[in-house]
Structure 1
Amino acid sequence: MSVLKYSVLAFLIALPTSSWAKPHLREVSEIDDSLYWIALASEISKKCDSLGARRLKGLNELWRLKGLANDMGYSDTEIRAYVESDVEKARMRKKGESYLVALGANYDKPETFCAVGRAEIKKNSAIGVYLKAN
């Protein structure tokens, strides 16, 4: 076989592999956004004594997201690395704090988290579904 044929064959074999490259999990909006909403609900429930987290609902969603990521070809190791990454935690925290402040939460006034949480519960929002009144 000529060098040209080997080159073409190598190119054709490599081509599908490059198109199958998975995006970073932060770029998979269904996964990243869902983790974000759960994290915001958790933050609200920690700051507001009169609201609690719907832990079972959140845990079920986390298992669903893990299954989805596995179905998309992500290994448990890749998923764990994303979830436990200090960089990703810091990114999520910065984004979440800005969002909560925009909703009216003030880290110096815990009662503002209660107001935000109650409003989210009332709207049955992506955050509110993970919260409950104590």
Structure 2
Amino acid sequence: MTQLKHLTLALALTVGAAAAAELPPLREVKEIDQNMLWAGLAVEVADECPTLEVKKIKGLSFLWGLKNKASSMGYSDDEIRAYVESDSEEARIRRLGEDYVRHAGFDPKTPQGLCAFGESEIAKGTLIGSFLRSTK
């Protein structure tokens, strides 16, 4: 997840501040939070699985799109940065990811489980799978 944090933070710092508004926390904005989960899962799988890697350009483009979407919704750079840098949000996303992998029938705590999960996502053509490529 750390790599994801750094990529998103770099994007957040390059865009000007958006108008402040009374908005729900980003964790409650499904189109942002859910997509951060998918991107985070892809990064976690690639970090733990020696036969898979993240498609970096695709990932950066996707994260840039999420950052722009949050900005267009009225979230400031500071609000986006706080969400991305939050240890509690990272832990929450990690728990959601582990639950998702487990529910898919794989062990989220082992490289073998994460490799099998990643390969399955690639084969199914999911968003998570679209961020991954095999190095075999």
Q: What's the TM-score bracket when you normalise by the shorter of the two chains?
A: 0.7 to 0.9
Equivalent in the alignment of 1:98 = 99
Equivalent in the alignment of 1:30 = 31
CA change 1:29–1:110 in 2 (3 A) is same
CA change 1:46–1:104 in 2 (3 A) is farther
State the Cα deviation string for residues 82-102 of structure 1 (Å, max 9, x = none): 110111111101111111122
Displacement, 1:103? 2.0
Partner letter of residue 28 of structure 2?
Answer: E
Displacement, 1:107? 4.7
Find out whether 1:127 has 2:128 as its counterpart: yes
Higher gyration radius (CA): 1
Equivalent in the alignment of 1:89 = 90
Identity among equivalent pairs (%): 47
Taking the aligned partners of 1:21 and 1:27, their CA distance within structure 2 comes to 13
Partner letter of residue 112 of structure 1?
Answer: G
| Matched length | 115
Displacement, 1:21? 2.3
Displacement, 1:109? 3.7
CA change 1:71–1:109 in 2 (3 A) is closer
Question: Normalised by the size of structure 1, how large is the TM-score?
Answer: 0.80
Taking the aligned partners of 1:40 and 1:98, their CA distance within structure 2 comes to 11
Q: Which runs of 5+ in 2 are unaligned?
A: 1-20
Taking the aligned partners of 1:108 and 1:55, their CA distance within structure 2 comes to 24
Displacement, 1:119? 0.9
Give the superposed CA RMSD: 1.4
Moved over 4 A (4+): none
State the Cα deviation string for residues 28-49 of structure 1 (Å, max 9, x = none): 1111111100000111111211
Question: Normalised by the size of structure 2, how large is the TM-score?
Answer: 0.79
Partner letter of residue 51 of structure 1?
Answer: L
Between structures 1 and 2, the one with greater helix share: 1
